[in-house]
Amino acid sequence: MITQAGIGVTGSVVRVTGSGLGCPTWPQCVPGSMVPVSRSEYHALNQWIEFSNRMLTGVVIVVAALCVITAWRVQIAEPSRRRLVKLAWTMPAGVVLQAVLGGMTVLAKLEWWTVAIHFLASTPLIWLAVLLLRAFNEGDASTHWLVPASGRKILVALVVSLWLLLIAGTTVTGAGPHGGAVDTHRLDVPIQTLASVHSGILVVYLLILATFGLQLMRVGAPKRLWRHYGVVWAVALAQGVLGEVQYALGVPETLVSFHVLGSALVIIATAALWTSARDRGPAPSPETRDEAELATAN
């Protein structure tokens, strides 16, 4: 979860520093070399910023592999826990997809829509990482929802509005001043219009969140669910304020990276709210397994 969010933040650093073409080709950094080579047309710092971001992918791969190995070891002890292994495999699969999309982005000379796709591909991986973390600490019983059917529909609407919010955010970035390199093509739409749409979707997200809170009051939701609900409000409001400040100050580079980090935190908080709204029983332990086997034998 941390590495999936972190690669998005470091990607934003590449963009705001204009380092996106510090390594102008892929999978090599420059033609004939996998690592940066001094060239007059590329500043050394820009080369190393872009190269470092590529190398961070290796860290993400290692963590993804450890997720699979850990899930596999759990399944050896608990053969029924196939869902955990399936979730774990989405991590390395997602890293491979991101590497390919990153290569396409470089080869397309940072066209704004390729950058948007590259970022958006990270968002479901962050969500799945939260689900995977939760899966390690819960069972595999049939899902028991802690909210009624109407509450589940509101929760789905909240998730849909979240992704619309993220998509709208990439269009604002596409029209903004930070393209990742000099002379990259930008989205030819007034940024004021796109920013208004983006903030409008945030309002919709918050209204849906408030409606979900009314559902929690109606059913008497447990404290854990209320706690996650409160975290979503705190993170979403902080992200909204940050976005307004960022826009008012003319989109300074540092705030762009903090805004990307905020996006990841909103995804994490919303995913945690989703997982806390249902119960799949406790994670199996050696004691419960022995009891189940004894019951079956009897």
- The one-digit pLDDT tens for each residue of the chain (298 residues) are 788 888 888 888 888 887 777 888 888 888 888 888 876 666 788 788 888 888 888 888 899 999 999 999 998 988 888 889 999 999 999 989 988 898 888 888 888 899 899 899 999 999 999 999 999 988 888 888 999 999 999 999 999 999 999 999 999 988 888 776 777 888 889 989 999 999 999 999 999 999 999 999 988 889 999 999 999 999 999 999 999 998 888 888 888 889 999 999 999 999 999 999 998 888 876 544 443 333 333 3
279-295 per-residue burial string, b: 16 or more CB within 10 A, e: under 16: bbeebbeeeeeeeeeee
Confidence at residue 41, expressed as pLDDT on a 0 to 100 scale: 65
For 147-168, write each residue's pLDDT tens digit.
999 999 999 999 999 999 999 9
Quote the CA–CA distance of 145 and 151 in Å, as a whole number.
Answer: 9
CB atoms within 10 A of CB 147: 19
- The pTM (predicted TM-score) of the whole model is 0.88
Round to whole Å and give the CA distance between 86 and 106: 31
Q: In this predicted model, what pLDDT tens digit does every residue of 88-143 receive, in sequence order?
A: 999 999 989 988 898 888 888 888 899 899 899 999 999 999 999 999 988 888 88
Q: DSSP letters of 238-273?
A: HHHHHHHHHHHTT--HHHHHHHHHHHHHHHHHHHHH
Task: Give the pLDDT score at 292.
Answer: 35
